[in-house]
Structure 1
C-alpha cells in the first residue's frame, strides 16, 4: 500500500526499481511532514493534538505518525524501563499510556539515540495504533493506520470479456466488469451481480477490513472455499465496486478476453484487523465524522 507496503517502491517486495547506476541500500526509510492536524483519543480523552506530525514510511510496515512530545497531554506517558533497538533508528524507549484511569502498557514509543540522518524524528513519540481508542484528522476518524498520501484506488470500466469457471461450470460471464487499480496491488476485476450465477455463491462467515475500501465479505464459489469477495457497503471513494464481486484467480479460473489470469505479485494480501473499539457497523459506515 502506498510507498512502503505490499509492492510499493520502498517495500521489500516492490515490483519496480530505481533507475540508478549504483545499488540502493537494502532498506530505505522515508519521513515527511503530514501537513494535517492529527489527534489521538484514549480513555475517552484527547491525549495528543498536533499540526506538526511527521509520517514515517518503513519497508513492509504501515505508515506511522510521530507527534512532538510537547503536543502530548502532560502525564499521559509513563516511561517504562524496557529499551529495545530498532534496526535503523537505534535505541527505542517505551511508555505506558494513561488517561482517565485506563492504561496501555507499551502503548507509545520514542527513538532516543537517533542517527544524525534521522533528526526529523527527534523529540517525537508514536502511539500504537490499535492500543489507542481512535485517531482523528480534524474531526473525522481515521481507521487502520495513518493515511498514506501515496495510496490510491483508480476504477475503470471496460467492455472486455471476463468469464469465471469452476471446472466446466460458468459462474460469471460479463462484458461490463470494472477493474480496480490499487497502489501496490495487482489489478482486481469486479463483476456485476447480474452477470453472475448467484446460486453458485455461498456466503461465508467472517470479514476482513481494508482502510481504503471498508469491510470485505467472502464466498465459497461452486464449492471452492473463499473463492470470491465483495465490498457490500464499499466506502464512497470506491463506491463503483459496491456489491460487485471479485474472484481469486488462484482458486477459480478467471479468463479475460480468453486468456487465463494467473496469480500476480501483489495479489496475496495481508488482511488488516478492525481497530480497537470499532464495531462492524462502523466498519461498514461511509462517513467517519458522523
Structure 2
C-alpha cells in the first residue's frame, strides 16, 4: 500500500520522483523477501507455512504474497485448465485449492512464463486473498491484504486549528487535533469528540476496515453522505486516534488555520468491506488471532 498504491513511489500518482536522467518505465514492479513467517488457512487446515515468502508490488495494487511450492501442503493445489497473460510476467497458470471439504476453483496462481529478470518468483505460488479462510503473520491474523512492510502511520499531536462547517453551522472546532501521516496519503486531521457537535453526526450502518488502523465507523452530516469517520477501537499501533473523528474535505467544508482543504489528486480511498463474510467482532483487535 505504501510503496505501490495511492501516491507511493511505484504508483502512477507518486508525489515524488526518482532522480535519474531518463524517465523510468511507467510500470515498475518490485519484489522483496517478507522476512516474517506467513501462513494460510483453508478448509480448517494450514495449507501453507513459510519463512521464505516474497512480496510482489505492482502499480495501483496491494502487495501480493508468493509462497515457495515446497512450503505448501502436498495435495492442496490442483492445476486446472485455465491460464491468463500477465502484462509484465508472462503466462500465469491457475490452481484449484482443496482442503477438508472445501474447494476454491481458482484459489491460487503461479507465473509460469517468467522473464529472466523476474527469477525471484520462479516456483512460487500466490493465493487469492478473499478465497482463503485466513492469512497469518507469525500468530496474528492479517486482514484485508498482505501488509506492506514499508507502510507507516506516524501520529503527531498539533495545535493547528481545523474547523469543520456545514451550511454555516460549526460541526467541529479544535486546537488539539491528532494528525496521522500515513504512507501514500495526504495528512488527515482527527478531532477529539469533546470538540465536535455530536448532534451533527448521524451514524450509518456501513462499517469498513483498514488493515493498518482497524474497524472504521462512518457518519452522515446532514445530506452529506459518509462525510466523517472514526476508529472506535483502533489497533494498538495507532491507538491514539481511537474514537477521534476525521472529515472528508470533498464532502464537507474543512478549514485548517483558515485555509480550506480539498481532497488531493489520487487520494480517493477504496474502503475495504469485511471480507470473506467476517463479522466486525472477528476483525476487532481482540479477535485477530
SS of structure 2 residue aligned to 1:184: coil
- The corresponding residue for 1:9 is 9
- The corresponding residue for 2:43 is 43
Compute the displacement of 1:278 (Å): 2.5
| 1:14-163 correspondence to structure 2 within 5 Å | 14-163=14-163
SS of structure 2 residue aligned to 1:188: coil
- The corresponding residue for 1:170 is 170
Compute the displacement of 1:267 (Å): 2.9
- The corresponding residue for 1:201 is 201
SS of structure 1 residue aligned to 2:60: coil
Compute the displacement of 1:261 (Å): 0.9
Higher mean C-alpha displacement, 188-197 vs 260-269: 260-269
- The corresponding residue for 1:269 is 269
Cα deviations by residue, 1:78-112 (Å, 9 ceiling, x for unpaired): 11111110000000000000000210011000010
What is the CA RMSD across the aligned residues, in angstroms?
Answer: 1.1
SS of structure 1 residue aligned to 2:275: coil
Asked if 1 retains the 8 angstrom alpha-carbon contact of 2:281 and 2:287, the reply is no
CA–CA separation in structure 2 for the residues paired with 1:79 and 1:65? 19
CA–CA separation in structure 2 for the residues paired with 1:29 and 1:223? 42
Give the ranges of 4+ consecutive aligned residues of structure 1 lying more than 6 Å apart after TM superposition: none
Query: TM-score w.r.t. structure 2 length?
Result: 0.97
Cα deviations by residue, 1:22-56 (Å, 9 ceiling, x for unpaired): 01011000011111111111000011111111111
- The corresponding residue for 1:237 is 237
SS of structure 2 residue aligned to 1:249: coil
Which runs of 5 or more structure 2 residues have no equivalent in the other structure? none
Compute the displacement of 1:273 (Å): 2.7
